[in-house]
Amino acid sequence: MKHFFLIFAAALLSVHAADAAGGPDPARFSRPEPADQIATWWHWMDGSLTKDGLTKDLEAMKAQGISNATVLNIYRMIGVQNTLAIPFDSPEWYDMFRHAVEKADSLGIEIGAANCDGWSESGGPWITPETSMKMYTWRKTYAKGNGREQTIRLAQPFGKERFYRDVAVVAWRSDAPNSFVAASPKASCNGSYPLETLIKSHKYHDETRHIDLYDDFPAEILIDGNPETALTLAKDDRDVRFEFSKPFTADELHIYILVSAANFPIPVTVSVSDDGKDYRTAGTVWPKSANSLQKLRFPEATGRYWKVTVNDEFSPTTLAEIALLRHGERGLYDTVAPETVPSADKVIDLTDRMSADGTLKWNVPRGDWTIIRFGYTSNGKFNHPASPQGVGLECDKMDTTALNIHFAAFPQKLIEAAGPYTGKTFTYLLVDSWECGQQNWTAAFPEEFRKRRGYDLTPYIPVLCGEQVGGAEISAAFRHDFDRTRGELVLDYYFKHLSDLCHRNGLKLYSEGIYGGNGMPPVDVLKSYEYSDVPMTEFWAQSSEYREWPIVNEPGNYGNHAIPYHVSLLYDKPVIGCEAYTGMALYSDSPIDLKLFGDRAYCEGVNKMILHSYVHQPTDMKPGVTLGIYGQTFNRNNTWFNWADGFFGEQARIQYMLQQGDRRADALVYIGDALPNVEMSESEIERTLPANIKFQYINQEVLLGRLSVRDGLIWLDGRVPFKFLMLRGDRMHIETARRIEQLVRDGAVVYGPRPSGTLSLAGLERNNAELREIAGRVWGDAPGDSGVREYGKGKVIRSLRALKRNYTPELSVRGADIDDILYIHKSLGDTDWYYIISKDNLNTVNIEAVFDLDGRYPEIWDPMDGSVRNCALYTDGAGYTSVPLTLRPKQGVFVVLRKGEKLHVSAIETPDGRSLYPVQDNDWSEEFPAVYQGEDGEFYLEQLAGGSYYVAFSNCTNTRVKVEEAGKVVLDGIEGTMTFEDEPLLGTLPIGGFKDFTKSLNPLIKYYSGTVTYRLEAVLPEDFLNGDRRIRISIPAFGSTASLEINGHRLETVWDPSFMADITEYVRKGANELKIVVTNPWRNRLTGDKAGIPSSQKLWTTSPLQQKHIPPQQIIHEYTKLYPAGISRPITIYAVEKTLL
């Protein structure tokens, strides 16, 4: 089969092999290789597996250009009868896996697999509480000392999974207990330990488990001062009750709501009673948010019995802490420091004085004392969403022994099942995004901490329990050291060790890993991806949930989870994967609706799309199996998937280009020493950096050892230059401050605030003094009027306004705003290339792209059809090259800038003296003509509209030219047929003019979804093909995809309605036979089913067709807006003149 993108007209192509040697290869761009093609996740649902379905899935992937599939075993088809279930981890399941690998090998498809059942993270039934992820836990006790020995019963701290181990007992002189603690109320409620919301296995979904403690069911954990312990209140009983031994007075509620789906604020009623039966309302308070301590006043009340009612009507509420106090009192858990704060040497270690049953014997000195019994337990996290056979605790991420147990229990079995295909066809394991919560302890943690930080953590244990030791600064410094140790252990003993295990077995590691931010382990996020062979991230493409036609998508310039993009340059990772186009399973989106979401990811650094998701289709029932509510439906039972070769081909060409060379940017952004690492939000970027700037994150490892300064630029590894270094925070390690000073002294530009302090406890006072000296030398005491201060050969800049005055962007545009485009810049040797995309959904835009490079000549590489042409219309000068671009809605092209100078057209004017190029202002709408140099050395101009122009060359010569308007043949109201391939009741009908199916009075046509084959004849006049005309066809409205066959020659499928395919090689004078196969999404037919419209299509899907809300919102229903379908506007064939200049 011939493809039109392989036809390189001599007039359009003048790129020589010698040129290609310094950059991407035009031939490979035109016909990408399997390594360039997209990949997919291949979800196997609930054991619903058939060999026939697996074979058909893989054959469909191969046919459309998918060369890599990741198997994830998922258990999530809630409410769907499953008669095909093959148990996970059974011989039958591994036989299915072996079959898939063998078939993939025959097709040349690479296979990977998630490293556990479900998608997160690494666990299973083989993991015991002892080898599970761990968390520290504690219980506070107050003692009144009299100088004599006391026997004190220390209650065992909260534990999970019937597992608890003691670590230490410490005590310090403290404030007296508050009135609530002193009164020692008895707490009760109708609640249960909250099931982790991410454990959504069918077996456990919407269930709770009672707290697994050694004690009876204890509501007392709500008043233990530990916000990590929590209860979920029953839906029909939201009361927390307190019984005091005598009347108790309070006027303030302290409440910590850990989880709630309610729209805050929500009402919480405080009631009081004298007999425990008749309650009177003391007051109603309104917590403003979850996951924070709220202190709320109410009128003073007194009673022996109290009740706190959380009026959350939307969902169960999970409470962590609650207390009734007098205003001004400090709670057992509080964000306000106590009056009495011990120094580290005043914290007494009583560990050896407590017996195994929790009995402490101690001569308690006079005064008030707080005692903490400190230990650890399992964090109770399970891999999810996993099958009953595969669900279990997550393995300890700070212990290689635990990971070894897990690897032997499942990944090793995959390796054995794949046999000789391991390392050849079965080539990698996957770690999905971190969704297993926090781990803050392991058995060896005290020893690891001492080894890595150089001091004993025992005196600082109160800090881990919400107290202070030595004051706020010292406590924060210890906490930073503690978190730093946690992060290092996860990197060393989980990510690095898992990578080592994979490599020992001939496998690679794909990892989404840890994105950073609160709720994630405090690792050096950039460093964590050093251990991934293919670092990964993810993005969502929620396009059509609520949209009416036409769909307009407006993704910003920057997405979430961006840190993985930045490891490519830092750790030599040429491929950056991405869980791509995740959405809801609504059968509504077409490829063009997804495009801008993908382009944004490409422009941030992704170069390997991994579709979310191809869900295994065990049968041919349509639309078929989904990942429950989630995922775009990239599978053979979706209408347009079997015509996705054009869309996937465009993706492959983009990926080929972006997998080459170095990612370039203007700025280095120091991610910072503070923990956890947090990526910049889009609002922070817009607030602190020039518009649409590209930047590169670096960590301390890179800052200290891999940067140098030359010619006023900061060089990474002496190879890639940057214009300035941005600092995000004012606290840093002393080593960081020293290095920054040296860089500025050597000539670097540093942008950011004056440092104010260091972070680590070791040498804190000495390091703070040195940092103040560095800050005084480099930043000075005041920013100055200009916001710029020179130091050595370099300078520091404090304000964005000052930065803009001292900075020239790598790319600027005329005719539009820089935020109207997406772009990314790559380079290799003497060749630079930019992928530039218009964000306009509906209109063609005309811009002049100005690059900060000189001595270059441009080429335009179009990933839509693989065409490559030189661009002979541009201007250049000292420090810049300017190229005009006419971009269709959402169109993206590569501008390739090669080293050298060529004769070219530098200006075009209309006869009345108006400049068409260069652009004179930003209010520009006229289309630029295409100007190129043919292989004959002559210059040519093409334009659909035609016109007269004065053309100026770079050698100061000029000419006048008249361009004829393109000839055209409009196909409308012609004879032909259309066959409804998925509706036998319709069969083949006459065309009778092109119109939108949804406007039909026939309900079978109005609600039709699927494939329609048009057969028609296009008659071209005798003179239509005269001369060197290029013949192009426009099909401006067709639904999802349009596969075009002309006179028996099939072209690559069109999926962008604004694209005009070049058909010059296939047409002839007179009659031409056209076969156009179009598709539209299942949305319309599903809507027809909901409306009760009869059809023979018999649709079946596991998707609930809902959006994720509480309660869920139905998106596809009887009144859902239908999307246009079929060829609904006239087809036009153009004959474009090639005009000699």
Helix (H, G, I), strand (E, B) or coil at 811: strand
Angle formed at CA 582 by CA 578 and CA 586, multiple of 5 degrees: 160
Q: Check residue 231 and give its pLDDT.
A: 87
Residue 894 has pLDDT above 50, yes or no: yes
Q: For the stretch 900-939, what's the b/e string if a residue is b when 16 or more beta carbons lie within 10 angstroms of its beta carbon?
A: eeeebbbbbbeeeeeebbbbeeeebeeebbbbbbbeeeeb
Alpha-carbon gap, residue 533 to 1050, rounded angstroms: 38
> Mean pLDDT throughout 134-156?
96
Provide the residue range defining the domain that includes 790: 666-804
Residue 60 has pLDDT above 90, yes or no: yes
Kindly report, residue by residue over 361-420, the tens digit of the pLDDT. Answer: 999 999 999 999 999 999 999 999 999 999 999 999 999 999 999 999 999 999 999 999
Closest CA to 245 of 304, 303, 160, 312: 304
Closest CA to 381 of 362, 412, 402, 352: 402
Q: What percent of the chain has pLDDT over 70?
A: 94
> Mean pLDDT throughout 884-894?
98
Q: Check residue 213 and give its pLDDT.
A: 37
Kindly report, residue by residue over 75-109, the tens digit of the pLDDT. Answer: 976 556 666 789 999 999 999 999 999 999 999 99
Q: Please tell me what DSSP assigns to residue 929.
A: P
Does any domain span residue 132?
Answer: no
Q: Which has more confidence, 861 or 318?
A: 861
Q: In this structure, what is the dihedral angle of CA atoms 851, 853, 859, 861, given to the nearest 10 degrees?
A: -60
Among the candidates 804, 829, 848, a domain finishes at: 804
Question: How much is the mean pLDDT over the chain?
Answer: 93
The domain that holds 981 is classified in CATH as 2.60.120.260
Whether residue 981 is found in the same domain as residue 948: no
Whether residue 656 is found in the same domain as residue 677: no
Does any domain span residue 39?
Answer: yes
Alpha-carbon gap, residue 740 to 743, rounded angstroms: 5
Q: Check residue 6 and give its pLDDT.
A: 33
Q: Check residue 204 and give its pLDDT.
A: 32
Does any domain span residue 350?
Answer: no
> Mean pLDDT throughout 1072-1094?
98
The domain that holds 612 is classified in CATH as 3.20.20
Kindly report, residue by residue over 615-660, the tens digit of the pLDDT. Answer: 999 999 999 999 999 999 999 999 999 999 999 999 999 999 999 9
Q: Check residue 110 and give its pLDDT.
A: 99
Kindly report, residue by residue over 648-672, the tens digit of the pLDDT. Answer: 999 999 999 999 999 999 999 999 9
Whether residue 284 is found in the same domain as residue 404: no
Does any domain span residue 195?
Answer: yes
Alpha-carbon gap, residue 108 to 421, rounded angstroms: 12
The domain that holds 943 is classified in CATH as 2.60.40.1180
Q: Helix 411-418 crosses helix 91-107 at what angle (to 10 degrees)?
A: 50
Can you give the pTM of this predicted structure? 0.94
Band (pLDDT 50/70/90 cuts) for residue 979 is very high
Whether residue 72 is found in the same domain as residue 86: yes
Q: Check residue 919 and give its pLDDT.
A: 85
- The total number of structural domains that make up the chain: 5
Whether residue 942 is found in the same domain as residue 831: yes
Q: Check residue 264 and give its pLDDT.
A: 86
Q: Check residue 669 and give its pLDDT.
A: 99
Whether residue 902 is found in the same domain as residue 1017: no
> Mean pLDDT throughout 977-1004?
96
Residue 713 has pLDDT above 70, yes or no: yes
- β-bridge mates for residue 185, sequence order: none
Closest CA to 348 of 374, 375, 371: 371
> Mean pLDDT throughout 1013-1041?
95
**Contact present, 1054 and 1063 (Cβ < 8 Å):** no
Of 5-19, 550-564, 910-924, 1010-1024, which has the strongest mean pLDDT?
1010-1024
Angle formed at CA 887 by CA 881 and CA 893, multiple of 5 degrees: 65
Q: Check residue 22 and give its pLDDT.
A: 74
Whether residue 705 is found in the same domain as residue 778: yes
- Ramachandran angles phi, psi of 945, nearest 5°: -75, -30
Q: Check residue 79 and give its pLDDT.
A: 56
Residue 954 has pLDDT above 60, yes or no: yes
Whether residue 989 is found in the same domain as residue 960: no
Among the candidates 750, 769, 804, a domain finishes at: 804
How far separated are the first and last CA of the chain, in Å rounded? 36
Does any domain span residue 213?
Answer: yes
Alpha-carbon gap, residue 30 to 24, rounded angstroms: 11
> Mean pLDDT throughout 1047-1055?
96
Does any domain span residue 861?
Answer: yes
Given the DSSP bridges, would you call strands 788-791 and 508-511 parallel, antiparallel or unpaired?
unpaired
Cα distances from 149 to residues 144, 345, 353, in angstroms, run 11, 22, 11
Whether residue 580 is found in the same domain as residue 716: no
Q: Check residue 19 and give its pLDDT.
A: 42
Q: Which has more confidence, 956 or 22?
A: 956
Place of tokens 């309650």: 279
> Mean pLDDT throughout 1009-1024?
96
Q: Which has more confidence, 122 or 195?
A: 122
Does any domain span residue 863?
Answer: yes
Among the candidates 616, 642, 662, a domain finishes at: 662
Whether residue 831 is found in the same domain as residue 961: yes
Percent helix, strand, coil in the chain, to 5, is: 20, 35, 45
Kindly report, residue by residue over 36-51, the tens digit of the pLDDT. Answer: 999 999 999 999 999 9
Helices (H), 951-1047: 1003-1006
Whether residue 292 is found in the same domain as residue 313: yes
Kindly report, residue by residue over 733-772, the tens digit of the pLDDT. Answer: 999 999 999 999 999 999 999 999 999 999 999 999 999 9
Kindly report, residue by residue over 580-599, the tens digit of the pLDDT. Answer: 999 999 999 999 999 999 99
Does any domain span residue 355?
Answer: no
Peptide bond into 948 cis (omega under 30): no
Q: Which has more confidence, 567 or 212?
A: 567
Whether residue 558 is found in the same domain as residue 677: no
Given the DSSP bridges, would you call strands 318-325 and 268-273 parallel, antiparallel or unpaired?
unpaired
Assign 3-class secondary structure to 96-150.
HHHHHHHHHHHHCCEEEEECCCCCECCECCCCCHHHECEEEEEEEEEEEECCCEE
Given the DSSP bridges, would you call strands 1139-1140 and 939-942 parallel, antiparallel or unpaired?
antiparallel
Query: For the CA atoms of the chain, what is the radius of gyration?
Result: 33
Which contacts (CB < 8 Å, 24+ apart) does range 700-704 have? 700/524, 700/673, 700/733, 700/735, 700/736, 701/524, 701/527, 702/526, 702/570, 703/670, 703/736, 703/739, 703/740, 704/735, 704/736, 704/739
Peptide bond into 87 cis (omega under 30): no
Q: Check residue 261 and give its pLDDT.
A: 65
